Structure 1
């Protein structure tokens, strides 16, 4: 069976198309399961829509859930539509986010770190003028946040765990044991990481995480899932067969998706 758990739509302000467009694309691409997982609002903000080009408004969140649940019913028997969300992780606001999500029947929640040290992980300038030691510190700060997100108990999936290399490919070569420590914690918490194929659209030119991290994930027994991170309908399911083949080469025997927060195991 073929699935894709990471898709967006126009509510977030930087994706194209409606939720229905992504579901129809999933059907065209032969998916059995499609997860809708748009960016969560900034729940701790004093304004309704913080960062309009990044995430949906707080006032849109319940409407988002309602639309996905309605489409889930409409497409029943054609494709299994899952209710997800890609959540930012801010340690200081974790309790608030947990409370918000408990109000809705999510099939899964993806936890993604997009800000580290108060700066976007995709900001190329954050690396300018840093010494080698400072680069290590930045990488370890990022992975500390991912470790905290793994231990938070909020998420079933962690999103794009090396996306900081998206516009700074040299990130992968910064030497630190933080990646192994993080993977060990993720395995201990028994949650999944996604193979996110949107990295191919960035300067790094490959999936998140890259092969070296996937090989270490396999070593630690980390479970894996698939997400295209599609921001336009034509990317739904992008590289699914290639990812499946690569995982088998690395030694994985299965991958997973989540329904009603229960893990569903799919043989590779």
Structure 2
């Protein structure tokens, strides 16, 4: 059973095409399950559409949910369409986000840390002029946020947990293994999954998130895994699924899973 839990569409302002285009692409790629998971609005903002090029407007959120549910019904029997969302994790606004999501019948929620100390994790300039000690502190803080996102209990999936390396490949060489281990222990305790996210191939770092080294540690701690292409173009749906499955088996994983009605559905590797 091939599945992909991480796809976007035009509402976020930086992805192409409509939701249905991603469903059609999933069918063409032989998937049995496709998750729709566009970027959550900035719910804590006073503005309806705080960052049009990053996430959807608050006023679009209910329309987004309605469209996914309509397409779920339309494609029933052909492919299982799942209602998801990729949620930012802001600890200070966690209650607001939790209460908002509770109004809708999500199959799963991906919790992703996109900002650390108010700066995008993809901003390569954040590293300019930092001492090695400061770089270690930045990495440790990032994994502290990821651990907090797991401990919040809000999410079934934790997104791209080393994506800070996307436009700064040297991130992987910054020594903070104890912070990574602590985050993985918290993730294992939370029963959330980490995604193997293949969108790293679209960024400077290449490959996918997280690194094999982190996946090996995740396997050691008993962390469950899932798959997401993080497709912003329909042609990327399911990208590298077979390669990821092969690598996970080599590392020692026996299965991965997706979520329906917030319950795990286990798929043998």
SS of residue matched to 2:41:
coil
Q: Which residue in 2 is equivalent to 1:226?
A: 227
Q: Which residue in 1 is equivalent to 2:196?
A: 195
What's the CA shift for 1:189? 1.1
Q: Which residue in 1 is equivalent to 2:118?
A: 118
SS of residue matched to 2:76:
coil
Q: What is the rounded CA distance, in whole Å, between the counterparts of 1:181 and 1:92 in structure 2?
A: 21
Q: Structure 1 unaligned runs (5+)?
A: none
Q: Which residue in 2 is equivalent to 1:154?
A: 154
What's the CA shift for 1:153? 1.0
Q: Which residue in 2 is equivalent to 1:237?
A: 238
- Deviations along 1:45-77, whole A, 9 cap, x unmatched? 000001000000000000000000000000001
Q: What is the rounded CA distance, in whole Å, between the counterparts of 1:135 and 1:236 in structure 2?
A: 34
Map of 1:96-175 to 2, 5 A cutoff? 96-175=96-175
What's the CA shift for 1:206? 1.2
2:261 corresponds to 1:263? no
SS of residue matched to 1:22:
helix
Q: What is the rounded CA distance, in whole Å, between the counterparts of 1:175 and 1:206 in structure 2?
A: 20
Q: Which residue in 2 is equivalent to 1:217?
A: 218
Map of 1:17-166 to 2, 5 A cutoff? 17-166=17-166
What's the CA shift for 1:190? 1.1
TM-score (structure 1 length as normaliser): 1.00
What is the root-mean-square deviation in Å for CA atoms of aligned residues? 0.4
SS of residue matched to 2:109:
strand
Q: Structure 2 unaligned runs (5+)?
A: none
- Paired residues in the alignment total 268
TM-score (structure 2 length as normaliser): 0.99
SS of residue matched to 1:257:
strand
Q: Which residue in 1 is equivalent to 2:13?
A: 13
Q: What is the rounded CA distance, in whole Å, between the counterparts of 2:207 and 2:181 in structure 1?
A: 20
SS of residue matched to 1:108:
coil
